[in-house]
A and B are shown apart, each in its own frame.
Chain A
Amino acid sequence: AQSVAQPEDQVNVAEGNPLTVKCTYSVSGNPYLFWYVQYPNRGLQFLLKYITGDNLVKGSYGFEAEFNKSQTSFHLKKPSALVSDSALYFCAVRALGGATNKLIFGTGTLLAVQP
């Protein structure tokens, strides 16, 4: 069965420091991997995705993520955090070839960036 794990409920980082939000996945077959961000009382905004190709994917707002097949991970990163990056981040996975194309979400990681 497909699953996604976000091991940290919350990540705290000082403004200007690099940030990492962790995600690991479990699928049979090749995965599609996604990151979304949610601000309070809003819907989810798409940040970036990995389909195939380069393991380092660049997305919106200066975020990037690295696909690591051997470690089944897709960690979200940013070189220099901003206070405005504070939000809830979701990792999601969909297996290629599935009949339903369902997207499975992690439980979310709250990123808090201190000024």
Chain B
Amino acid sequence: DGGITQSPKYLFRKEGQNVTLSCEQNLNHDAMYWYRQDPGQGLRLIYYSQIVNDFQKGDIAEGYSVSREKKESFPLTVTSAQKNPTAFYLCASRDRGHSSSGGNTIYFGEGSWLTVV
């Protein structure tokens, strides 16, 4: 099946610990994204990557880091510097369809819950 796979679904982090959320896609998409979802605040962009070996900070990048060594993979590390990491994290990727065919749709994985214990 083609799609975006996030793992683990549930993750618990102790204070002062770094954790990494995995995101893999087999859709051959160039662009990938990480969003954070908190109740009542919608989705906020953490980091995005438009091509391999390149990524940019989104609106709430502090306390997070990413890498993009392969087209298929865009892992997110939540560092100890992120003071309030408990949230639902969503990975997404975007196709490169042309405007005339209605491309440029962003597709999402199933999400990962991160809880601080």
Contact = CB atoms under 8 A, between A and B. Distances in A.
Bound pair (A, B): yes
Interface of A: 9, 32, 34, 36, 41-46, 49, 51-52, 90, 94, 96, 100-103, 105-108
A100 to B, nearest CB: 7
A62 B109 CA distance: 23
Given A43-B90, A51-B99, A101-B31, A34 B42 contact: no
Contacts, number: 55
B105 A34 contact: yes
B94 interface: yes
Given A43-B111, A44-B90, A103 B106 contact: yes
B104 interface: yes
Interface residues of B, dominant DSSP: strand
Nearest to B94: A101
A9 to B, nearest CB: 8
B99, B105, B107 interface centre (most CB from chain A within 10 Å): B105
A102 B42 CA distance: 15
B102 interface: yes
A90 B43 CA distance: 9
A90 B6 CA distance: 21
A91 B56 CA distance: 24
Nearest to A42: B110
A59 B70 CA distance: 33
A113 B91 CA distance: 29
Given A101-B50, A108-B42, 10 more contacts: A34-B106, A42-B111, A43-B90, A44-B43, A46-B106, A46-B107, A49-B102, A94-B104, A96-B99, A100-B48
A90 B110 contact: no
B2 interface: no
B42 A107 contact: yes
Interface string B61-84: 000000000000000000000000
A102 B58 contact: yes
A46 B45 CA distance: 17
